Each structure stands twice: as C-alpha cells, then as structure tokens.
Amino acid sequence: NKMLEFSVKHRRWMWDCDVVDMQMISDDVATLLTTTFSKLPFALMQTVLVVSCLGSQVKESTIIALNSRNRVLPFNMLNELEQAVKEGIMEKAGPMYQFTHDIVQQTIYKVIPSNNRNLLHLTIGKS
C-alpha cells in the first residue's frame, strides 16, 4: 500500500488515509493485538493464523479448497472466519475475507514462530 499516489482519473495526488493511519500505530498497539489474539478460542486462533499466511485477504473458495483436504486444519475454517468477522478481526465483502487492517494481519503472522511459519507455508502450498 502506498500513502500517496497520483490518480490519472482525478488528475491529482491522492492520500490513502488508511495507510497513513496505519503508519501511526505504535508498538503498544501491536502488543495489545497480540494479547487480545492469544485469548481467542483455539479454532479461531488457528484459522486466522493460517489465513495470515495467505496475506491480507483470501477468497472463500481458497478456504473451501483448504478445508476439503483437511490437511491444514481439522475443522471448518469458514465457520471460524465468520466468527472472526463477528470479533472484528476480519471483514467479509462478497466472496472475500480480509483483515480489518494490515497491522492486524502482520501482528497475527508474527505470532507464528519462524520455523512453524515455514512448515505452515509448506502445508498450505501442498494443499
């Protein structure tokens, strides 16, 4: 995401206020997010960990494909994503789920120890 981009359509420079706001978030907010995240139910926590490996947004069809093989998580990730929406961790727009902010996705992703992260990426890739 870029804070400032030139819009050919509008013929002017445009600020992305969300990106600017995200630049202002301190380490204290990341610590608060990590603490809050650790209190989530196990299945929800595991689901958002997996989704964080896929980026800031994911298609519902991708989750269905991961679920159909039961290789990544042994429970219905779509149900957990709906709960993540209710918890305010993610938003749903049509067939897409996305984290409410990039900092949420990044903080959750950083919770995964690096050696586990590599294994999780491999497991997702093989699915």
Q: Which of 19, 44, 25 is nearest to 107 (CA)?
A: 25
The share of the chain scoring above pLDDT 70, in percent, equals 82
The identity of residue 91, as a single letter, is: E
Amino acid 22: pLDDT = 56
DSSP letter for each residue of 113-124: -HHHHHHHHHHH
Amino acid 27: pLDDT = 58
Q: Which tokens hold the place of 18?
A: 């969300």
Higher pLDDT, 48 or 123: 48
Q: What is the mean pLDDT of residues 109-120?
A: 84
Amino acid 17: pLDDT = 66
Residue 116, pLDDT above cutoff 90? no
State pLDDT tens for residues 47-75: 999 999 999 999 999 998 888 766 667 77
State pLDDT tens for residues 81-96: 999 999 888 999 999 9
Q: What is the mean pLDDT of residues 98-123?
A: 85
Quickly count: other Cβ atoms within 10 Å of residue 66's Cβ: 22
Contact between 109 and 53 under an 8 Å Cβ cutoff? The reply is yes
Q: At what angle do helices 102-111 and 27-38 cross, to 10 degrees?
A: 60
Lowest mean pLDDT across 37-46, 66-75, 104-113 = 66-75
Whether this prediction's pTM lies above 0.75 is answered by no
The phi, psi pair for 116, rounded to 5°, reads: -70, -35
- Please give the radius of gyration of the chain, using alpha carbons only, rounded to the nearest integer: 16
What is the rounded distance in angstroms from the CA atom of residue 29 to the CA atom of residue 42?
A: 22
Lowest mean pLDDT across 2-6, 18-22, 86-90 = 18-22
